[in-house]
Structure 1
Amino acid sequence: MRCLAGKFTRYAIVITMILMAFGCKGSTPPINFYTLTPIPVTQGPDNEGLVLKDIQIGIGPVAFPKVLERPQIVTRPAPGRLNMAEFRRWGGYFKDDFILVLASNISTLLGTDQVVVFPWPGSLNPSYQIEIEVYRFDGKLGDSVVLNVGWILKTSDPAQAVSLKRATIVQTVTGDDYDALIAAKNGALEKFSRIIIDEMKSII
């Protein structure tokens, strides 16, 4: 009887472990994917005073922090601390999203399709080139997103001065979820796009 009772106990333990394993698998949350979004084309250009005929604009190269070059969305819950959201990921590459949305924003705001992304063909020599280094682009849920970025506006004319700038943009996150965080990132990137446009207006 003792032997039989021991077998039943072992079977019960094994069955319990199997059920727990299946239960854990069943409770794993789904992975949600996100992407940055450009400003709508219907928003219209902000190119008053600019003469854009025969002008091409090149975006890049763009340098990104290594910590952001990962599929997980990175948040900063406290100074000196980062959180990688295993179940909240970028649908593609965050850096590529940043570059393409920035290029789209500038194209929309200038009202021109003559915007190219680095690397461009060797035969192409953009009239203006915007080189960018992103130092920080993260945030805290329910708080704010920070975009800290340096950039250089160069022209194809070596005799013309180069504009070297740095900007820190803080965008409020209006909710406690990742949808609100991504919306704030879109807002910060739109503000950066407009900063670039304003600088171009002073040069073109």
Structure 2
Amino acid sequence: MKTHALAVAVLAAGLSGCAAPPAPDVYTLQVPSGEAAAVPSAGPAMVIDLAPVALPERLRRRQIVLREDGAKLQMLEGQRWSATLGDELQDALSSALQGRLHAVDVAKGGVAGKPAYRINVEFSRLDARLGGPVEATVAWSVKPSAGGAGQVCLGRFEQAAAGGSVADVVAAHQGLVALVADAIAASVRAVPGGGRAPYCAAR
């Protein structure tokens, strides 16, 4: 009887040791549809082509990456983006620009017509800390496909977090994407008149 009880206990311990780890929390940079810029029901005003967003190698992953003191980084295995951060930024910026510019993005597929503007975006820095702001250095260019002067831009952006949780960090990322989208949209609008948008030089 004791032998049987011992065998059951050993089996139970083995099964508990093989239990699957808890599923990670998954987040997205896409804001709820009710908070996104509305696209009018009429046809689009322009066609854009947003190239894949460039990121430092350390950020090209699904794990949420936090900066700690000095040069130390923390990659959160239990808190992840729904896709790689580059893909998340691509989707979020594309949606935001389509809403702000009343545009369609050929990069999303299924769109006929030549892009009026080609947009390239690179995040050379994107740092987040628990309880602190999300900070980014972003370069982008807007080039009209028909030729002529475009915009070459470089901006530094910061979005405070409302609290000290990972969810607050994600919300701050969403707010920062909105700031970047506002700046890119302003540079697109400046191209036809040859004006100079904030952060930009006509080129």
TM class, shorter-length: 0.7 to 0.9
What's the CA shift for 1:78? Answer: 2.0
Decide whether aligned partners of structure 1 residues 85 and 133 sit closer, same or farther in structure 2, where only a CA change above 3 A counts.
Answer: same
Percent identity over paired residues:
25
Q: Say which of 97, 108, 115 aligns to 2:88.
A: 97
Query: Which residue matches 2:189?
Result: 201
Partner Cα separation in structure 2 for residue 85 and residue 163 of structure 1 = 37
Q: Say which of 136, 139, 143 aligns to 1:150.
A: 139
SS of the equivalent of 2:51 reads strand
Instruction: Give 1:79's aligned amino acid.
Output: G
- Larger Cα Rg: Structure 1 or Structure 2? 1
Query: Which residue matches 2:119?
Result: 130
Deviation by residue 1:165-191 (Cα, 9 ceiling, x = unmatched): 111111101111111010000000000
SS of the equivalent of 2:106 reads strand
Query: Which residue matches 2:199?
Result: none
Query: Which residue matches 2:165?
Result: 177
Partner Cα separation in structure 2 for residue 189 and residue 39 of structure 1 = 14
Compute the RMSD of aligned alpha carbons. 3.0
Partner Cα separation in structure 1 for residue 80 and residue 115 of structure 2 = 34
* TM-score when normalising by structure 2: 0.76
Decide whether aligned partners of structure 1 residues 31 and 118 sit closer, same or farther in structure 2, where only a CA change above 3 A counts.
Answer: closer
1:116 aligns with 2:109: no
Q: Say which of 137, 153, 164 aligns to 2:152.
A: 164
Asked if structure 2 preserves the Cα contact closer than 8 Å seen for 1:39 and 1:190, the reply is no
* TM-score when normalising by structure 1: 0.75
Partner Cα separation in structure 1 for residue 134 and residue 158 of structure 2 = 6
> What is the aligned length?
181
Decide whether aligned partners of structure 1 residues 31 and 25 sit closer, same or farther in structure 2, where only a CA change above 3 A counts.
Answer: farther
What's the CA shift for 1:45? Answer: 5.7
SS of the equivalent of 1:62 reads coil
Deviation by residue 1:125-160 (Cα, 9 ceiling, x = unmatched): 3111111111122300111101211111101122x1
1:36 aligns with 2:29: yes
* Residue ranges of structure 2 left out of the alignment (5+ in a row): 1-5, 193-203
Deviation by residue 1:73-120 (Cα, 9 ceiling, x = unmatched): 1011223221101111122222111111101001111233x2222789
Asked if structure 1 preserves the Cα contact closer than 8 Å seen for 2:25 and 2:78, the reply is yes
